[in-house]
Structure 1
Amino acid sequence: AIADLPEDLGLEVIVSRLERDGDQRLPGNGAWAKPGDVLSVVGTAEELDRAVELIGEALPGDPFHGHDLDYRRIFVSNNDLVGIPLAKLRPQLSGMLITRVRRGDHDMVATPETILQLGDRVRVVAAHDRMGKVTRLFGDSYRRLSDVNLLPLVVGLVIGVAVGMIAIPLPGGASLKLGTAGGPLVVALILGALGRSGRVVWQIPYGANLALRQLGITLFLAAIGTTAGAGFRAALSDPTSLTIIGVGALITLLISVLVLVIGYKVMKLSFGETAGILAGMQTHPAVLSYVSDVTKNDLPAMGYTSVYPVSMVAKILAAQILLFMLL
């Protein structure tokens, strides 16, 4: 069957349409490939080259807007489609096919495991006369995305602060706490993984996420600067403090160079993603902000979020454990 071709051949692609005897149609579950069929295949350049080797001959040109089938990019603004794998949405998506999902500046091939988020842009293939219904199903409302529901955010913060205040007893009467930073972080990871609980969608639209992230970084740096400014001036006149600052700068430089070399040269990650990992290890949003401005893509944020939660929680716990061991 055409729908099973990618899985049977080990390809990470999706067959978006079938053309046979001049007629275009969606490749339904019961459609079988025949010699002479023209298949439109979506995937990365490497996967498309493999598909040509395994399936047949590549034809020049791009898919066209025919009389039977059409394709369109649509904003996802309908909460009912968010936080649920596409495989479970199949009854609602009958008669259409999602081929690509664009999240921020990153394109990915849609799979049955793909979970849509508010603000995603999906490329949908459907019959020309069904495009209006398809558009209404996904919402396609930029204004609706701008009306952010703050209730899930506030509830998540309250739960996070409560979790952060839970004390884990240690021998000798001491205790460990995640605090007001670690608690919301852990709860956010759990709620983000869940995606939704019933009618409540925990994820924030992509545009609002970026705005809150930038606002948070600005407030964080402003608070750090105003708090540490007076003490830093006094430290510049103290030889002991200058020695500590110098040793700390040297250690930070060596670790930074080591991470960049291993990530970029050894593991062959992109430089933007490697720099994001470095910022996450240091739990330093200023580095992330700078790298994101330079690269102008989402790779630094992807690297940052992959290591930041572990680094933050590890620092919070390590500081309390060291204090317990030394006192």
Structure 2
Amino acid sequence: MTMKTNQAWIEYCKSLSPAIVETCSRTAVSAGGTSLARALHGALPDWQFRHALARGGWYRLGGIVDGQGQRVSDNLEQWVEDALDACDGDMQQLIDEHEGKTLYATRFVGQTHYLTANVGDAADDFLQLEIEDLQEMKVHQLFSNEPTTLEELVDPRGGKDVPMPLGLPFYKLRRIQHIGAFLQRMLAQKPEPASIHRMLEDWSKSSAGSTSVYANHWVIATREHLDRYHQPVFRAQPIATLAGDPPEFDAAPETTGLKLQEALNRFDRAVGYPMAWYFHMLTTKAVPHWVAQSTVEDALAGFAYLPQRDVDVIRSWLHRPYSV
């Protein structure tokens, strides 16, 4: 499917959301990300979503339950702000009014699953789906730590309360977007290409782009917010879909010639595509910058172990470096 305008992609992605939400509601988290991708393909047969990456280790604030597990509020922060306002901002009065009551804060712990589906041949021509798997946990007892600030009340550090699950994990749609459309919106806001635009251009010009698909190896974490002048600000950060950390680059500084070529090849084989070392130099910093200088010096000296198009990409970076 080809769509020419960014707005068309935005509207189209919105039209997919109901089917995705329904799929999330009937797919068990315990079945894993691959099963989620299969379920999505069944619901959206036009798209072959691939499970690319799962990132966890985060949480967000939840609501409030009482000692019997009954729901008091779905929004902990709003409940606390309203209750404090009713006490004219007096934290001690708030504590006194709830003395003897057993109330627990909850939080949602989880991870974000990134799934991608290729649309066309361009490096950024893919749909990216972000689905969270979440589990609500009962955490600390409110007011038991005699809080003096809002933060100490809603999200205290430490404590003796052991988190307890309030239900099974579940999937929730966070975002679906066409990455190329998002990056075009970035350029419309600020015509000077950002680092992510340059990375994608380098991918397309290099051996990586002619050998593999960008979305098979990277996802792009996007953010959008308004600045103080109420103008949109866009951010895009590439994330490698490697399982674990990238391999260690096995060459000492000032290595050249055959030994450097062997180190480059080992890194690329471990990651799975040519020029992987270059893109991880830009992003994960797994490869030191001296490698770029040495490869170009080798090429100028007649060591032709890199295609000329790759040498051209590296030379361009040396003249105008960037990192992502």
Please report the TM-score for the alignment, with normalisation by the length of structure 2: 0.22
**RCO greater where, 1 or 2, for CA within 8 Å and sep 6 or more?**
2
Greater share of residues in helix:
1
Relative to the length of structure 1, the TM-score reads 0.22
More strand by share: 2
